[in-house]
Amino acid sequence: MPYVLGILKVEDFTKWKSAYDIEDGVALRKAGKMKSYQIFHSEDDPNKIVHLSQWDNMDDAKKFLQSDELQKANQQSGVIEMDDVYFLEEVEKTSV
């Protein structure tokens, strides 16, 4: 299963999360074919976010991340920078 892990810096987590949760944000992710996501933020800096998303295929993920719509949404929500983006393939998943 493909995943994308993105590390980003935002102006204000609350502002960013509000923009992420609005109907347009949900519609953007659905149109981009994102399956699920998890959001984390740094204990030391709540404006440093780690975003892990799951996809059916890596081509959809890459297309979404390069889309003008996502770039516009990021700018409007206060994303300052994308520090790192990793395209990952799941090797193993288990419970301990």
Which contiguous run of DSSP H or E holds residue 15?
helix 13-21
Residue 94 domain-assigned (yes or no): no
Predicted pLDDT at 15: 94
Residue 95 domain-assigned (yes or no): no
The first and second tokens of residue 82, run together, are: 């994308």
Residue 84 domain-assigned (yes or no): yes
Q: pTM here?
A: 0.91
**DSSP character for 36?**
E
- Answer yes or no: are the C-beta atoms of 82 and 68 closer than 8 Å: no
Residue 18 domain-assigned (yes or no): yes
pLDDT digits (tens, 9 = 90+) for 28-80: 999 999 999 999 998 999 999 999 999 999 999 999 999 999 999 999 999 99
CATH number for the domain spanning 81: value is 3.30.70.100
Length of the chain: 96
pLDDT digits (tens, 9 = 90+) for 86-95: 999 999 999 9
- Look up the domain containing 9 and give its range: 2-89
- Answer yes or no: are the C-beta atoms of 47 and 11 closer than 8 Å: yes
Q: How many domains does the chain have?
A: 1
Residue 28 domain-assigned (yes or no): yes
Residue 12 domain-assigned (yes or no): yes
